[in-house]
Chains A and B, each alone.
Chain A
């Protein structure tokens, strides 16, 4: 059974206004997202900024309460658990934040921060605590004396290592990494990514890796989910995505990626138009306003996520037409339909 199951998850943020501060609308941050994640798999979540990928991660970890839908972790439905009931699972699920500058408490040394987590979850006996902290720092390739220092004494990359150390301190199975390298220099990005890959091997971690960088996801992940305006557009394996990607949005993303060899450069494909407001998404396919191949039914009917290949789903009427046979066979993993 999958380690993580997300079933028709919705997250809406109310928009308040008027004299009485009543809800006057809602931002549809995450709409009808379903997927499964097997033990040991690294799943990339990719999309433009504002597409709801961070909200998805934070809703899964419990920082946001979902509007609808469920999250099941290792067979336990966690969306309805109380603070106390969630406690044993907290140890097994961790989150690495995006901004290394605001994700460490400026008033605690690295050692205090790790020690608080270790004590709270009772990871090792008090006598082994110092040894364990030094071990953790070593795991993230930092010097043991770093534990006496405050966050402002570290660089961005070092802070992100500390974030990783904090997440690892509780010996988790599953980590959600929310754009862990996007705030770092390119050279440091590579170091942190390599570190994450080593750790994934060493501890057999399952990772949900949120990013807007297709190259990074392609390199780092096994599978990926492409999100647009809070909805999943395509789910596919990271092998040979150039060839396998079916959804027009994924293809547009691939074309907008920088090309290494200038001789390969063809004309630059830029998506026209604006992302629609998540307060007022189009009734049909969310991508319809910018889609180069949109048809009339795309305006009014929302395409569901349907299998288009082995471990490969897409939400597009045109892809759907190509794979009509796959639709009729209706795999169990199909999720979402036009509401």
Chain B
């Protein structure tokens, strides 16, 4: 069944239209990858799914995005609880200037998820474990998050997002600033997380999309060109434009 359903979404930065009439269904427990050339609107689109674009004063949205049957652009939407349900991992790792423990504990604390101190500890450990980071940090939980390597910081940010128990995780080029080994770890992690979460991942890297995703969506100039099963997309796409992009004829 579809977890997120987007219909006829248009997005504007002031007068400039960044997204044109996007309609797509995202299924529960799938990994869907968004690919496309720079500036094609894939990052803008992923940020409409948790209303992150609200922070941009001149941004304007038309159309509908329903998550679990509820339109998140209804005026009475509780954006805070929406974002708790739809977590996000960003392109550049952005840990808080706090200890490793406190970074992961942050979301648990502000949302009041934990029952007591022991429960908090347990949840932090579980999130770090799910993000495949616990083994590397369990001896230095109270040291600064800035002491971690880039790849570790990014997995910390994933752990931080997991800790609030979201249902959907949006990942905006989560591995683009990492080296191949760290990237591989993130990719393995993403596949592992699929069991529990619905994952939307934006990526520049077509091999990455091919490796991790169940379905792939190709964006171009603010339009959604094609959505298909990843295997089909990369072997026999329906659209000529998709084929041209994937075979590297432009982009």
Does chain A bind chain B?
A: no
